[in-house]
Amino acid sequence: MFEKVFVWLVLLFLSFCLYPAQADSSFGGTKGTRFVMNGKPFYINGFNAYWMMYMASNPSTQAKVTSAFQQASKYKMNVARTWAFGDGVGKALQTSPGSYNEDMFKGLDFVISEAKKYGVYLILSLVNNYNDFGGRKQYVQWARERGQSLNSDDDFYNNTVVKGYYKNHVKTILTRINTITNMAYKDDPIIFAWELINEPRCESDVSGALLQQWVNEMAAHFKSIDGNHLLEIGLEGFYGATTPEKQQYNPNNLELGSDFIATNLLPQVDFATIHIYAEQWLSGQSEEAQAAFVDKWVQVHIDDCNTIVKKPLIMAEFGKSWKYISRVLHRKQKRLLWKVIRRRIQQCQKWGSVCRWTFLAAVCARYGKLRGRIPSRFRGEPVNC
């Protein structure tokens, strides 16, 4: 959710059964529940900055992108997650199916080249679940305008024409030749991973089956073009119909159309993600209740990635809403949130496993400045337990 502030990225490493690493070691890879780079364990300190391409597309604001990467490098942050989409609305990257704004594309070129300059890897998301920046709704609307009879935005997942638009977008992005580096995106090691869709949900099939079918098809399409890069879905972590006993861990037992375990088990998916917005999901509940939810949410997903999915897990978004930031995010709450995270670290010791966490404690880079305080104990160094 692009409007959220105080977003932490947390990477969880749990060393058990092996999963194949990428063939070219200059690209990010996986080995069991760990990430690897150049044959060595790779620990992420990352941040979210959805706005980078948009700022980079205008020469007068490009310096904000450079500044964000400079600050990230200063604090030893090594991964940024940002958008590689903008569909049909505002300063769109894709103005209509298959038609692109070259100035916006050059902005993305600049983001990638600056990331390389400052040694910050990228996770690039390919479409939004929400209406912001176009999203699924825009794809469905494009198909309606071309004669398709579609009932809801969930037709994004099953309509052949709409899926064709998305596949073409994926191919266009992956095969783009960067005008600065002269390298195709699919061949650039500074891109750590691609994300199929930001926070996918599906109201018309709450079991998660339809979304899983879409992920299976799109992941195969992606890998047929780009065999170098890691791929993740963009899931928030909600459990689906294949694990009914785990739906109790969903906020308020809601079914939201995704299936964390079954979908992440797909062979073309390289690692899992979760997001946490307890304040929004459990609106009206106490801070203590929300913290307890966060504690359990993190624990069950660690367990599942360790014993069932057997792939790395990234906590890709975690934090507070922008509208609540000034009056709610006070010292007591921050202490409570960090207490939950530290408790999970201590749990690693009880397992007797090798467990390494690295943190992003800056929320998101907002217009060239990393906002949020990074606790000194977490700056630039993995916490080993």
Which residues form the catalytic set?
A: 199, 317
- % helix, strand, coil for the chain, step of 5: 40, 20, 40
Neighbours of 334 (CB within 10 A): 16
Among 65, 68, 41, 45, CA closest to 55: 65
Whole-Å CA distances, 270 to 194, 237, 288: 10, 15, 34
Laid out side by side, the sheet with 10-14 consists of 272-276, 313-318, 10-14, 355-359, 383-384
Token pair 């049909």: residue: 88
Task: Tell me if 137 sits within 8 A of 127, measured CB to CB.
Answer: no
Backbone CA torsion sign across 280, 379, 297, 287:
negative
β partners of residue 125: 83, 195
To which residue do tokens 């009879």 refer? Answer: 149
Residue 102's Cα: distance from chain center in Å?
25
- Helices and strands: H and E segment counts in the chain: 11, 17
Q: How far apart are CA 111 and CA 55, in angstroms?
A: 9
Q: Is residue 47 a contact partner of residue 67, using CB atoms and an 8 Å limit?
A: no
Which residues are within 8 A (CB) of 295 and not within 5 positions of it... i.e. 6 or more apart?
A: 340, 343, 344
Q: Quick check: helix, strand or coil at residue 88?
A: coil
Distance from chain centroid for Cα 350? 29
